[in-house]
Structure 1
């Protein structure tokens, strides 16, 4: 089952000619999940030829303009196709007010159900087949949430030679064992899944953190992520400015990634003061702490693979 992250916009504060505002889309097989929707989101959707009508849920970090101004366009875009399933929009307080006001003022034609859920406490905010999305609080100038997308664990690797030794013939019984059922061997004895499977294997984990001070608890929330997309808005020499604005530096993001033992860190939400050339300074400061760091660019694609 494929899992991919598409960066639709990597910029913060204001859009630049080659840098839309922050937005990330996660695709799991045919289902899509949008994290924030800054200005320019639907432009990148179009350029990547992503099927926006497959967006099941939108997760809003907070209601600052550079994270939500692209959402009205997404809502209207979705009315251009037949849609039977509701669209969930999940975010902190003020999310419902923003969506409802936008619909009213713009007199939107919406031909599908929109369900807005405001987060009142940390924890699981959305669940699907084999996965869940968990929200946790960040520290910004207004209520802001980080998100973790986690898949369920998988059974251990199936060992056909063990099944054959225990008298389970090739066929449907093998599938039952792999799905966790106990079966009867050809001799009538019970064979349990653990008799033929290796150690349980983990699912995949994606985390999204932006617009926050750096603080220790973030590492625990995103621990073990296969991909952490995290703001790296400023370089180290502007750490005091970052603190005043309740943002973090690229180096601080890297320290979180290191402490959380993530597999890859992708920086996002850059200050517009940084040109494409001097973004390299952010990257170097982060890689000095956590070598598996990359810069996101608009329309970057990150496949998220199983470890095993």
Structure 2
């Protein structure tokens, strides 16, 4: 699982930062998922190492322009390129109306199927490897945060150990790889878990923007390997954050701390903190790290590989 930040500014783009969009690459499935699609996202994709032909799902948090103005252009370009099979889009009520109107008035017709899913809190998508859930955030309009949970996988099967035990190859190996218990023809009972390495713990990613500090964000981010959270304002501008229902750096850090995440990556920064101003982005990072030290500040085209956790061997034996 690899995260690429395609836009990290709030409200309007700057020379160095485009508006909101984050890509999640799933190399094992040759799929690309997008979270939000601000204006210019397709240009950012072209400038990155990502392949738009792998785009399969887009998750929209809310209907403010800096999160959706790039959606129609991206979908149209994918259709003209002819290299996308299908795209499923998830978002709040009204998203389908927006796309239908844009398509109608621009006379755009897609050459591939597009399905818009109206989301509600809970599970919104699941396959054999991932579960995606969403939850309500607290913003000026209806906004959702998303959580991607990778399912746990059985550890690597030790084929050499199986051969040493003179276990006959064939369908039995498949059962043992799945951690099942098998009785051999000679009466021996083999526990497949003893032939597999440590369980590969599924990774968890939470994406929360736009929102002020709220319980919904904490719940979505609980025990996540990485939390991507907006930090539009410095702590000094907290009053403005409350008025506009956006987060400060300290709110993002408090969310990460309360949720017990392993890494916080802040994004969605106000252009007011440009170099040379009284408060700069480096000050925002310092504020957040004072509360949650494992904090990073995203920039456009930043790539983050989500590390995989492994269960401790002793846990398999019931030892804590």
Flag whether TM exceeds 0.5 (same fold): yes
1:231 offset after TM fit, Å?
0.1
217-226 vs 11-20, greater mean Cα deviation:
217-226
- Provide, for residues 177-198 of structure 1, a one-character-per-residue CA deviation record: whole Å limited to 9, x for no partner: 1223443446343323234346
Residue of structure 2 in register with 1:90 after alignment: 90
Secondary structure of 2:309's counterpart equals coil
2:114 paired with 1:114: yes
Q: Is the Cα–Cα contact under 8 Å of residues 124 and 132 in structure 2 kept in the other structure?
A: yes
Q: Is the Cα–Cα contact under 8 Å of residues 62 and 91 in structure 2 kept in the other structure?
A: yes
Q: Let me know the Cα RMSD of the aligned residues.
A: 2.1
Residue of structure 2 in register with 1:227 after alignment: 226
In the alignment, the residues of structure 1 paired with residue 155 and residue 53 of structure 2 have an alpha-carbon distance, to the nearest angstrom, of 35
In the alignment, the residues of structure 2 paired with residue 138 and residue 160 of structure 1 have an alpha-carbon distance, to the nearest angstrom, of 48
Residue of structure 2 in register with 1:245 after alignment: 244
Secondary structure of 2:80's counterpart equals coil
Provide the TM-score with structure 2 as the length reference.
0.88
Q: Is the Cα–Cα contact under 8 Å of residues 166 and 185 in structure 1 kept in the other structure?
A: no
* Runs of 4+ with deviation above 6 angstroms: none
> Superposed, which structure 2 residues align to 1:68-107 within 5 Å?
68-83=68-83, 85-107=85-107
Q: Is the Cα–Cα contact under 8 Å of residues 76 and 108 in structure 2 kept in the other structure?
A: yes
271-280 vs 160-169, greater mean Cα deviation:
160-169
Provide the TM-score with structure 1 as the length reference.
0.92
- Provide, for residues 5-59 of structure 1, a one-character-per-residue CA deviation record: whole Å limited to 9, x for no partner: 0100001111111110010000001101000001121111001132112111100
Secondary structure of 2:285's counterpart equals helix
In the alignment, the residues of structure 2 paired with residue 188 and residue 143 of structure 1 have an alpha-carbon distance, to the nearest angstrom, of 61
In the alignment, the residues of structure 2 paired with residue 81 and residue 133 of structure 1 have an alpha-carbon distance, to the nearest angstrom, of 28
Q: Is the Cα–Cα contact under 8 Å of residues 148 and 222 in structure 1 kept in the other structure?
A: yes
> Superposed, which structure 2 residues align to 1:1-308 within 5 Å?
3-29=1-27, 30-83=30-83, 85-119=85-119, 121-156=120-155, 158=157, 163=162, 167-168=166-167, 173-185=172-184, 187-197=186-196, 200-276=199-275, 278-308=280-310
Secondary structure of 1:254's counterpart equals helix
Structure 2: 5+ residue stretches without partners: 311-320
Q: How many residues align?
A: 305
Structure 1: 5+ residue stretches without partners: none
Q: 1:205 to 1:190 in 2, by over 3 A?
A: same
1:224 offset after TM fit, Å?
1.5
258-267 vs 18-27, greater mean Cα deviation:
258-267
Q: Is the Cα–Cα contact under 8 Å of residues 227 and 265 in structure 1 kept in the other structure?
A: yes
In the alignment, the residues of structure 1 paired with residue 84 and residue 270 of structure 2 have an alpha-carbon distance, to the nearest angstrom, of 39
Secondary structure of 1:96's counterpart equals helix
- Provide, for residues 82-113 of structure 1, a one-character-per-residue CA deviation record: whole Å limited to 9, x for no partner: 34632111101111111111111211131001
